[in-house]
Structure 1
């Protein structure tokens, strides 16, 4: 399986970011790590290995970027308003840097986004904010309400990075053209977040699949089962 390492300075986050890219061609999948995870986490926990067949056969090209969780939502050393502003820079990085990069390399005009746990938040937030750029959303064990990180503070930047708040009023037509899968499990600590988001989508008549797997916990083994299944839905 082809693997390439990239490092670049992002003007939108004002920091250096690192990324692994797997494959040489195929549909572009931006795969986020879990809470404060690094660009190599999804490789280390064998999530990439679980979809080797798709990569080796040129069906997908997977981009695994760093996040800036420790500088944004998880940074208790700064005001919640600044946490949100910092994260907004990450969103601009995706819009202006990484997504155009992936689109250019693969020749598509809408990417797939995916992630486990807090990576599911990154994927869902980006997909619902920018549906014109996203064709497929695969969340595995995600949580989608960012208010737990804002210490009771609230402003417009938080609102527009909190999917359960901004999605009800978002009527972009491409939301109804997106392949949306919310993966969770019977004993997933984030199961309730997935049901809540599913209910919002139902109220808007947006087609999606709420995949609740039996017996499993909020952990990598079930995510390694989900991810290849979800990639098989890319058309």
Structure 2
């Protein structure tokens, strides 16, 4: 399985972004790490290994991107408004720098995004903020309401990065073209948030797969989910 370390400079963030790429050809899937996770996390926890067949058979190409959580949602030393603004710079890096790179490299119009736990929030929020760029969304074991990170603060920027708030009012034809999987487990503490998001999508008539499996909030469940989801592409 080909593995390449691919850092690149982000003008949006003003520093290098580290990334591991698995495979040399295939449909591009961006994998976001969990809370404060790094670009090598999916490899270390064998999420990449769970989909090795798809990579080696050139079905997919995985782009495991770094996070900037220490400067965004988890940056307790910053004012909540600044945390959200930093997250929006990260979002702009993905949308304006990483996605165009993948579109050129893989000859696609849209990409796939995936993530476990906090990475699932990152994947879903990016997909719903930029539905014209995303064809596949695989969110596993995620919670989607970010109010817990805001110390009671609320502004417009936060609204547009908190999916339970903005999605009921969001309108975009691309939502109805997207292939969406919301995965959770019976004993996952994030299950209520996943059910809430599924209800929001149902009310909007947005087709998706709500997948509830045995287990809890942990990597073995997500390693079981991910290859199954990729097989749907």
TM-score (norm 1): 0.98
1:116 aligns with 2:116: yes
Task: State the partner residue of 1:228.
Answer: 227
Q: CA deviation at 1:15?
A: 2.4
Aligned to 1:189: 189
Specify the alignment match of 1:39 in structure 2. 39
1:150-171 Cα offsets, whole Å, 9 max, x none, are: 0110011101111111111111
Q: Deviations over 1:163-216 (max 9, x none)?
A: 1111111110000011000000001010011000000000001110110002x0
Counterparts of 1:30 and 1:222, CA distance in 2: 19
CA separation in 2, counterparts of 1:161 and 1:130? Answer: 11
Q: Distance in 2 between matches of 1:103 and 1:67?
A: 21
Whole-Å separation in 1 of the counterparts to 2:5 and 2:155 = 37
For the residue of structure 1 that corresponds to 2:47, the secondary structure is coil
- 1:2 is displaced (CA, Å) by 0.5
SS of alignment partner, residue 74 of structure 1? coil
Which position in structure 1 is the counterpart of 2:30? 30
| TM-score normalised by structure 2 residue count | 0.99
Segments of 5+ residues of structure 2 without an aligned counterpart are: none
- Structure 1 unmatched ranges of 5 or more: none
Q: Which residue of 2 aligns with 1:106?
A: 106
Work out the CA distance in 1 between the residues paired with 2:101 and 2:132.
Answer: 16
The equivalent residue for 1:64 is 64
Q: Could you tell me which residue of structure 2 aligns to residue 9 of structure 1?
A: 9
Q: Please, what is the CA RMSD of the aligned residues?
A: 0.6
Alignment match, 2:218? 219
- Write out the 4+ residue segments of structure 1 that deviate beyond 3 Å after TM superposition: none
Q: Does 1:204 align with 2:182?
A: no
Corresponding residue SS for 1:98 = helix
What SS is found at the alignment partner of 1:187? coil
Alignment of 1:27-176 (within 5 A): 27-176=27-176
Residues paired across the two proteins, number: 233
1:103 positional shift: 1.1
1:14 CA drift (Å): 2.0
Separation in 2 of the partners of 1:15 and 1:212?
39
Three-state SS of the structure 1 residue aligned to 2:123 is: helix
